[in-house]
Copies of this chain bind each other. A is one copy, B any other.
């Protein structure tokens, strides 16, 4: 596979720059980029690369990546971890750091994350702390990681106190989003990532939401629409990250749909058989719109339109669609209160005035949330 790729003409790629001063980097988006990874990564000037992947992705793509790197003069070593959220643990951090050190990665060398958000978050964190920081490259292999987790430099693992509570801000040196790799992604994961694509339209880009309604089939089918959706999502996320790298301000808008979504993930104990992150986000996006409509902030028609689009691609939008149940209103409220976005006890929400018109609402009264959730679980009157 790699031999052929190496002789192929350069894959055409869309480049999205992330202008973060001395931490600036490019995201390249396009089909076939894996075959050129060696050339592009070698240009960063390292002598060795530790490839971190998982046991689903590794067998599909790690050998091709290693061959491409080695053809370009980099020494490689590959570390494959079990797939799944449980891999974002202290134990895996130790395993990856020690493997990276065993691979004699020095300060000018690289860690390459080849996988979804789990691998990217973990490998990025390991890169941030091995020798107090080595560079890393993201090769995201899920739609979610191509449009979200590989951009912005948030890395980390989970603690028993909650998700992503231990980590570092560590920007990659390069992101290669090969959209062809998504061909092997299970449909359910594809849909979950798509929830984040839609989110960018809902945050501040109504034209992109229109585009999604018209072009989602091409995104799923793998046509040029897929590259365009990934690139546009990266542009959106990069713009927010550049304004607020360390999440002190309006980077919080990226959490649209996530306050409800995280609560559901917590309630379902991060059991991906029941709910994956993007499904929680899809329900959360629909709820953020319905909640905003209930508060009189946003038109009911917008809420219905958002829900209709998410449902069209096969995403859940209602609490009743959580397999195995979602507990009581109090369970949801409690799960929300544990969220790390609670500052000084007050509930912060991302609400909307319409499609593409989100804003940060601080001090949202808990009883308004309670009343809304009560309505949500009451079977709707005919």
Residues of A bordering B, CB below 8 Å: 47, 90, 93-94, 97-98, 101-102, 106-107, 125, 128-133, 154, 156, 159-162, 165-169, 246, 340, 343-344
Residues on B with C-beta less than 8 A from A133 are 168-169, 246
Inter-subunit contact A154/B132 (CB<8 Å): yes
Q: List 17 A-B contacts (CB under 8 A).
A: A47-B344, A90-B93, A90-B97, A97-B159, A97-B165, A98-B159, A98-B161, A101-B161, A101-B162, A102-B161, A107-B343, A125-B129, A129-B129, A129-B168, A130-B165, A133-B168, A168-B168
Residues on B with C-beta less than 8 A from A132 are 154, 156, 167-169, 246
Tell me, rounded to whole Å, the shortest Cβ–Cβ distance linking A377 to chain B.
Answer: 29
Residues on B with C-beta less than 8 A from A90 are 90, 93-94, 97
State in angstroms the CA–CA spacing of A132 and B166 once bound together.
Answer: 6
> A98 with B168: in contact, given A131-B340, A154-B132, A344-B106 (CB under 8 Å)?
no
Closest 5 CB pairs of A and B: A101-B161, A90-B94, A132-B167, A129-B166, A97-B166
Residues on B with C-beta less than 8 A from A159 are 97-98, 101
Residues on B with C-beta less than 8 A from A125 are 129
State in angstroms the CA–CA spacing of A160 and B98 once bound together.
Answer: 7
